[in-house]
Structures are given as structure tokens and as C-alpha cells.
Amino acid sequence: MVERDSVVTGYASYAPFRDKAAYAHTVEHSVYVASGHRAAGMGRMLMGALMDYARGRGIHTMIGVLDADNEASRAFHRRLGFEESAVLREVGRKFDRWLDIVFVAHHFS
């Protein structure tokens, strides 16, 4: 988590992908950088630290679920080595519209 003047300006976290034992080495991550703080390297720093943390704990695959219309997020994840693997149509709803999502995955060796 990154704070500026006691205000959270960014965070990255992960949680189990599924609760079944078969998925014990797979996590789903979230990353957030507040408007006005993007394009300054904060997201890359947060995700780099999170990925190092995950790798050090035996995580094999990190998954992200992105808004398919968010090209900046998609490009960000591609730069970090994530690969797009699936698009699901109209599975989310936000601001009175249906959202398509993209699954991305990064595999640690």
C-alpha cells in the first residue's frame, strides 16, 4: 500500500483463486492506483513487490480479471508478462452497463 498525506494512493493484494486444494498455488490479484498518481511507476512498483512476495511463497500462477474496455490495464499487465487467456461477455455490471472481462495469467517458473 502507498499513502500520501494519510490518503491511500495505491495498493496491490492477492487472495486465493478458488478454495479447492487443486488451486492452492494460484491466486487472483488486485492492483489499484488512484487517479492523478498513474503513469508514475507506482503500479509497476506495487505489482513487482506483490509478484516477488507471491513467488517467494510458492505461488505458481497469478490471475487478474480486467475490464475488457480498460486498454491501459491490459497493456500494463502485458508489460509485466501476463497473458490474456479468456474473455467473458457481460458478466459484470457497473454504472448501469454490462461489462466484459478478460482473464490474464502470469506463471512463475
Q: In the prediction, which pLDDT does 38 show?
A: 73
- List helix spans (H) across 15-83: 42-56, 71-79
Mean pLDDT across the stretch 14-39?
A: 91
In the CATH scheme, what is the code of domain 2-107?
3.40.630.30
Decide which of 10 and 36 is more confident. Answer: 10
User: pLDDT tens across 27-65, in order?
Assistant: 999 999 887 777 778 889 999 999 999 999 999 999 999
Q: In the prediction, which pLDDT does 84 show?
A: 97
Band of pLDDT at residue 26, cut at 50, 70 and 90: very high
Query: Hey, how many other C-beta atoms are within 10 angstroms of the C-beta on 88?
Result: 13
User: pTM for the full model?
Assistant: 0.88
Q: Where are the domains of the chain?
A: 2-107
